Amino acid sequence: MSTIIYHNPRCTKSRLTLGILEEKGLNFEIIKYLDTPPSFDELKALLKDLGLDARSLMRKHESPYKDNQLDDESLSEDALIQAMIDHPILIERPIVKTAKGVAIGRPPENILAII
């Protein structure tokens, strides 16, 4: 499996995480997830590998979170995953996936354990 970074070029943490991958000389694929969001199944697998529920991966201060009342505790896990696909700005970033695991680059050094 190749290394993948779900990247937002406008995000400082995402750029720093990308820099770590480059420094280490790794071959990796960049997925600009705002342009190409993960599929439902991909996002569900990432959550499983991260050991998180959907709400834990959501950026709660973004307007789509508030505009769509995603703080409603009655919403299902699947509904929250679909909301992140519909509004990828809600996905915490960056996410790095390697053969050793998946990590969120917040702080960027979090990815060192999986590269």
Looking at 3, 6, 9, 11, which residue is catalytic?
Answer: 11
Where helices occur in the chain by DSSP H, the ranges are 12-23, 40-50, 54-57, 63-67, 77-86
Q: Does the active-site annotation cover 11? A: yes
d(CA 26, CA 102): 15
80 DSSP 8-state letter: H
Q: Which long-range contacts (CB under 8 A, 24 or more apart) does 45-51 make?
A: 46/95, 46/97, 46/102, 47/81, 49/97, 49/101, 49/102, 50/95, 50/102, 50/103, 50/104
Q: Which residues are catalytic?
A: 11
